[in-house]
Amino acid sequence: MRRAATALVGAIALAGFASCIDPVHQRNVEDLGGEQDGIRPGPRHRAGQPCLVCHGGLGPGEPDFSFGGTVYETAGSTAPAANVVVTIKDAKGREISRTTNDVGNFYVRREELDPTFPATVKLARGKEGEEMASSIGGTGSCADCHVGAGSRSKMPRVYMKRSP
């Protein structure tokens, strides 16, 4: 009897755990594929990919980000833009800035800013600067909207300059 009760409790716990797994999110994580050869997980990995798929609260990446993305030098280019100051301001006027690394990546940990949307974004490097024409409505993962050269449903990659 005790064994049957223990098995029942275990089965209920397992069913509860399984029901917490989001199959759509799990598929999005799997669709990212493996790590690029020679680049270990960290601030330099997965340039151009949607950071919050893994770092957006549902995992599997840690830490949890509120914003993350990659900035490129010019429109249509895959050359990373290093040392770009990305400034994000949320609907409550809270502002935070991060500087892109050598592969163009930046991120903001959720503990540093848990934003109220919509948010605005400005890019700056030296005397150059660009402000995003629209506001961010609800996701801080740049590559959710900015993909490749752009399409009918996506904006082009985030870039610092229009032409070389």
SS3 24: helix
Q: What is the mean pLDDT of residues 88-105?
A: 97
Confidence of residue 110 (pLDDT cuts 50, 70, 90): very high
Confidence of residue 122 (pLDDT cuts 50, 70, 90): very high
Q: How far apart are the C-alpha atoms of 146 and 156, rounded to whole Å?
A: 5
pLDDT score of 4 more than 60: no
Structure confidence at residue 13 (pLDDT): 44
SS3 85: strand
Q: What does the pLDDT look like over 66-90, one tens digit per residue? A: 999 999 999 888 999 999 999 999 9
Structure confidence at residue 43 (pLDDT): 79
Q: What does the pLDDT look like over 21-56, one tens digit per residue? A: 777 666 755 655 666 777 777 777 878 888 878 888
Q: Which of 114, 106, 99, 101 has its CA nearest to residue 142?
A: 106
Structure confidence at residue 24 (pLDDT): 63
Confidence of residue 117 (pLDDT cuts 50, 70, 90): very high
Structure confidence at residue 5 (pLDDT): 47
Q: How far apart are the C-alpha atoms of 124 and 132, rounded to whole Å?
A: 11
Tell me the domains of the chain and their CATH numbers. 32-161 (2.60.40)
pTM summary value: 0.79
